[in-house]
Amino acid sequence: MPIDREIPYRDAIIEALAEEMRADSNVVVIGEDVGAAGGVFKQTEGLFKEFGAKRVIDTPISESGAFGMAVGAAMMGLRPVFEVMFGDFLTLVMDQLVNQAAKVHYMSAGRARVPLVLRTTMGLGGNLGPQHSQAFYAWAAHVPGLKVAIPATPGDAKGLFKAAIRDDNPIVIFEDRMLYTLLGEVPSGDHVVPLGKARIALAGRDITIIAFGRMVHRATAAAVELASNGIEAEVIDARCLTPLDRDTILESVRRTHRALVIDGAPRDYGVTGEIAATIGEEAFD
């Protein structure tokens, strides 16, 4: 698909939502301030005007109750995109997310499904305090039955959202709010990025750097600096934590024989350890 324009990360997500809502009347957006206000970060701007209050639904300040409603709606045939304003507030929906949404399909022997997207922000380095600046993606990735995506570019933001909305599983998408104004190439039309497929952001032969979200841009900047010293770093954007594209990561490390995994979230019991363990177990003798 030809790329003929650059748009901001935030606009790419809104475009994905609008396109999927036009294509499928079962797609609805639910959350606090997502309606006439257009979202606290203007991340749903324009949707209420086009689709109205029956499909862009403002909720009370009760994440647990509203998310329970979204899970039920998904089980009855809708495809909700539910917004948790700050990723820190996942604590308020974890019972419904972990014990209901992630398990219903398996507890019902496949008779029920929960085609739901939970979108939320993360604020590493955002300086909005201890309850608005965390990143809980390792927590979500630990839960069997959930898929977890972290788009790093506007193109992937659009493509991963479209793939997630069409998927029949519950999916959590973490958006780094410090990327909302980032400009990037986004194909026009039906641009879909498969869940579970990593992207080689920069090719190299001397070391593999695995990153996700905003850290992909940090890794690429580091690779450019390394290149000035004659070191070619290959940067892999994992895109999804579950399913994780182990094949792309391992193929790269087997070529470069060195690996660095970077993350802005706490190191202990985190995603970096899981990826490093996978490399240690499968890429070397």
Pairing mode, if any, of strands 207-211 and 233-237?
parallel
Residue 171 DSSP symbol: E
By C-alpha distance, which of 3, 2, 19 is closest to 11? 19
Distance CA 170, CA 79 (A): 10
Residue ranges of the domains in the chain?
A: 6-185, 199-282
Distance CA 183, CA 133 (A): 23
Catalytic residue among 105, 132, 217, 257: 132
pLDDT given for residue 97 in this prediction = 95
Contacts of 215 (CB under 8 A, 6+ apart): 152, 262, 263, 264
Concatenated DSSP letters of 58-72: E--S-HHHHHHHHHH
Distance CA 6, CA 12 (A): 9
| CATH code for the structural domain at 199-282 | 3.40.50.920
By C-alpha distance, which of 274, 265, 148, 263 is closest to 216? 263
Q: Exposure string (b/e) for 68-95, b if CB count within 10 Å is 16 or more?
A: bbbbebbbeebbbbbbbbbbbbbebbbe
pLDDT by position in tens, the chain (length 285)? 556 799 999 999 999 999 999 999 999 999 999 999 998 889 999 999 999 999 999 999 988 899 999 999 999 999 999 999 876 778 899 999 999 999 999 999 999 999 999 999 987 666 666 767 778 889 999 999 999 999 999 999 999 999 999 999 999 999 998 999 999 999 988 999 999 999 999 999 999 999 999 999 999 999 999 999 999 999 999 999 999 999 999 999 999 999 999 998 888 899 999 999 999 999 987
Tell the residue number behind the tokens 């594209």, with chain if given. Answer: 245
Distance CA 243, CA 197 (A): 8
Decide if 217 is catalytic: no
Distance CA 146, CA 124 (A): 22
pLDDT given for residue 185 in this prediction = 95
Q: Report the chain's terminal Cα–Cα distance, integer Å.
A: 41
| CATH code for the structural domain at 6-185 | 3.40.50.970
- From the number of C-beta atoms within 10 Å of its C-beta (0-12, 13-18, 19+), residue 49 rates as exposed
Residue 90 DSSP symbol: G
The model's pTM:
0.94
Pairing mode, if any, of strands 79-84 and 233-237?
unpaired
